[in-house]
Each structure stands twice: as C-alpha cells, then as structure tokens.
Chains A and B, each alone.
Chain A
Amino acid sequence: MADMIIGSQPIQVPKSAQASGAAPGAGAGEGGFKSILKNAIEDVNTLQFQADDAVAKLQMGKGSMHEALIAMEKASLSFQTLLQVRNKIVDAYQEVMRMQV
C-alpha cells in the first residue's frame, strides 16, 4: 500500500475494451496495472488480517490494547485509501463510457 503510485504507471486499457485492430499499448507489460492493483488489495487484506490477529491476541490476554488499536487504524486507513483508488477508477471508467462515438 505504501508504495502504490498509480499515477506513474500507464493505465492499460483492458484487452476487451480495445478496438480489435489496435496495437497493444507500447511498453506496458502483461498485467502491469492489474498486478499493482492486485498487490495493493493483497496488502490491504494483510493489514486487515493483522488487525484481526491483534484483536484475537488481546482477547486471549496476550498483546496490548494499543497495538490492537493501532493495527485496526492501519487497516482502516489502508482500506480508505483503496476505496479512494477504486472511486477514481470507477470515475475514469464512467468518463470513458460517456464518450460520444
């Protein structure tokens, strides 16, 4: 999540959305954007699991309260960030769909 820099990566148009004769995007490797997004989602998921672990530890009498709460805050923040990224992607998609052909 920390190093997720969407802006610096060329956003690939999904294959299905490309015109049939168009050449694939130059320089963009197979699933460049896809793998970034996938890694980001996995990172967020890991943080959620860590928060769950911290809470479970707290309930078992191990671990401390502030650690659990910090883990929860981390998970919440990373999820909020992912949500914003998703909103931007959906916005971009809708912008494309509104285009007059």
Chain B
Amino acid sequence: MDFATNFKICGSGLAAQRAKMDVVSSNLANAGTTKTEEGGPYRRKMVILKAEPVRERFDRTLEDALAEVKVDQVTEDPTPMKSIYDPAHPDADEKGFVLMPNVNAIQEMADMINVGRSYEAVVTAFDAVKSMALKTLEIGK
C-alpha cells in the first residue's frame, strides 16, 4: 500500500507537534521555577525540527523528494533571565533580587495555539489520504 508512505509522514508530523507541545507545557509549568539541576532558574526550551528524507526505495525520485519531520534537538533560549525584587526568597542575592525563568507566558500561549493548529492540519491531511484510499477501493463497484 503506497498510502503507507503518506501515513508515515503524517505520523512523523504528529509526533513532532506532540514533542513541541511537551516542551511548551514544560515551559509553562516551570514559568516560576528558580531551582534546576544545573543550578540557576529554569531556562526556556525550544524544539528544533529537521526534515528527514523518506527513503524506502532508491529508484524513485519522488520518494527522495518527500521528507518526514524529526525533532533535531531541544535547545535553550539564550535570552537573559528576569530579575525580580523579593528579599524573602531563599534564592535571592545579597541585594534581594531573584532570577526568574525567561519564560513569557503569552509567547507560550501563542506557540501552543500554533502547535495545536499544526497538529490539526496533519490530522486533516491524514483523513484526506484515508478517504482517498477508500475512494480507490470503490473503483469498479
């Protein structure tokens, strides 16, 4: 079934968007975290995606042109941390300032909507492929 290639591509898209959503959730959940294993406050994470060719058959040029999406790496946002004044906080420095994560909740919400829409788009593509395959079976009925 040649539709299997398309299913594979759609599956990789869904997995990638889900990974992005995981990172967005992690960023939002840790928007106020001041302690991490590496020390210092939580740093906002970003997912970097990369295209990976679907190479099932080498004799087909179309197959070489198609690409799945894979999570290449999860990087950290290098923007500076927010500094807030809270002398009672145990992580405050001698002047009473605490470094808070560089997570912007509004940006994360925008990312979340983006990821959700992308996921929906891939699901719609999958459904379209499925209905195409079912239509094919109606040939000659």
Contacts and interface: CB of A to CB of B under 8 A. Distances in A.
Nearest to A76: B130
Interface stretch (B1-9, B29-37, B86-94, B105-113): B1-9
Contacts of A78: 1
B62 interface: no
A84 B1 CA distance: 14
Contacts of B98: none
Contacts, number: 34
A77 B133 CA distance: 8
Contacts of B130: 73, 77
Interface of A is mostly: helix
A4 to B, nearest CB: 9
Given A77-B134, A80-B134, A70 B1 contact: no
A84 B11 CA distance: 26
B18 A64 contact: yes
A74 B4 contact: yes
B124 to A, nearest CB: 13
B81 interface: no
Interface string A38-70: 000000000000000000000000001011001
Interface of B: 1-4, 7, 10-11, 14-15, 18, 126, 130, 133-134, 137
